[in-house]
Amino acid sequence: MSIPDRPFASYHLWSLVAPATGQERWHCQMRRGFVKARQHEPQVKALLGKATAPQRIGILAQKGVYEFHHHRHLLKQSDGVDQVAQILQLSHTDHEVQQRVRQILQKYHNAPLLLNKNILQLTPGDEGFPKPILIDQDDYCFRLYAAMDCVFIDSDRTLHILDFKTGKAAFDQRQALVYLLAARYLYPGHEAVASFYNLELCKKSELIRINHHELASLEFELAHIAQRHQQDLQKYHQETEDFSKIFPPNPGSHCRFCPFRSICDFADLKQPQAHSMPILRVNGG
Ligand code: SF4
């Protein structure tokens, strides 16, 4: 099994290395081990390939927005929602997914956030890994992956990176920061802002900006995360039996929501107390 030849970073890796604020007690490094070190093992691969209902809703919602703007006349037609539902083959999905995605499509059809925006990029959400950005400085070198849902130009000519969300999870500002760093390389010379939009709640986040100094610190922090993860991968590939030392488990009631609970030797599957239920994160990008 090969180790990536150059360190890499992404929001996803950052979220596996360090918890979001408020999620500390449920954070488990072993999940990172399964996702990023053992992902090619058949059992792990099978578990990673199973999209949960919230993940399917996130992907279909994003694809729905993409289809509305790809066939823009559908935003004006009274049967636009039905037509996009057909393109998405919603009738082949289970009841919960079908219902929630249909509601999302209806809400978007009623108030299309991107209508009349100067869209530079809008992705269908199922296109896999984005092309990496090579960040090569004197002290570090790593590949940055940042899959942006949508990029448009605001009326004041600011570059706006928008990330679509579904479900109830709080926005994680770190994702926006990674996009802003990527924008510095992909759209050099542009003033950029990032924001989130929850398609189910029709809720916008505040605009997130970052200055040059903060961008430099962020880049350094991501280089450190990339380096640390690369070292962990090397250690694991040298001595696979040390998996639980390199990626220590943090078992607890949250294991019930972990995709690896069926293969994890440390899973604690006791009935969780009502107050200790973690918030399920969806559509993490
Ligand atoms: S089942 Fe629990 S201990 Fe095992 S990887 Fe998942 S969260 Fe960590």
Give the C-alpha separation, 257 to 248, whole Å.
Answer: 18
Arithmetic mean of pLDDT, 128-157: 92
Under 8 Å between Cβ of 61 and 164: yes
CA 136 to chain centroid: 24
218-236: b (≥16 Cβ within 10 Å) or e: bbebbbebbeebbebbebb
Least confident of 79-88, 126-135, 267-276: 267-276
260 lines ligand 1 (CB under 6 A): yes
Name the residue at shortest CA distance from atom 3 of ligand 1: 251
Q: Which of 174, 173, 171, 186 is nearest to 130 (CA)?
A: 186
* Three-class HEC string of 43-62: HHHHHHHCCCHHHHHHHHHH
Q: Where do the structural domains in the chain lie, given as residue ranges?
A: 8-232
Distance 185 CA to ligand 1 centre (A): 36
Q: What is the per-residue pLDDT across 244-266, written as a single tens digit (0 to 9) for each? A: 999 999 999 999 989 999 999 99
Sign of the alpha-carbon dihedral angle for 44, 47, 51, 55: negative
Who contacts 212 (Cβ-Cβ below 8 Å, separation ≥6)?
Answer: none
Name the residue at shortest CA distance from atom 2 of ligand 1: 255
Q: What is the per-residue pLDDT across 192-231, written as a single tens digit (0 to 9) for each? A: 999 999 999 999 999 999 999 999 999 999 999 999 999 9
Give the C-alpha separation, 119 to 117, whole Å.
Answer: 6
| Ligand 1, atom nearest to 31 Cα | 5
27 lines ligand 1 (CB under 6 A): no
Give the C-alpha separation, 139 to 141, whole Å.
Answer: 7
30 lines ligand 1 (CB under 6 A): yes
Arithmetic mean of pLDDT, 57-63: 95
pLDDT at 281 over 90: no
**How confident is the model at residue 189, as a pLDDT?**
87
**How confident is the model at residue 32, as a pLDDT?**
97
Please provide the average confidence, as pLDDT, over all residues in the chain.
Answer: 91
247 lines ligand 1 (CB under 6 A): no
Arithmetic mean of pLDDT, 15-42: 94
Under 8 Å between Cβ of 15 and 174: yes
44 lines ligand 1 (CB under 6 A): no
pTM: 0.89
Fold of 8-232: Lambda Exonuclease; Chain A (3.90.320)
Who contacts 131 (Cβ-Cβ below 8 Å, separation ≥6)?
Answer: none
Collapsed DSSP state (helix, strand, coil) of residue 152: strand
Q: What is the per-residue pLDDT across 80-89, written as a single tens digit (0 to 9) for each? A: 999 999 999 9
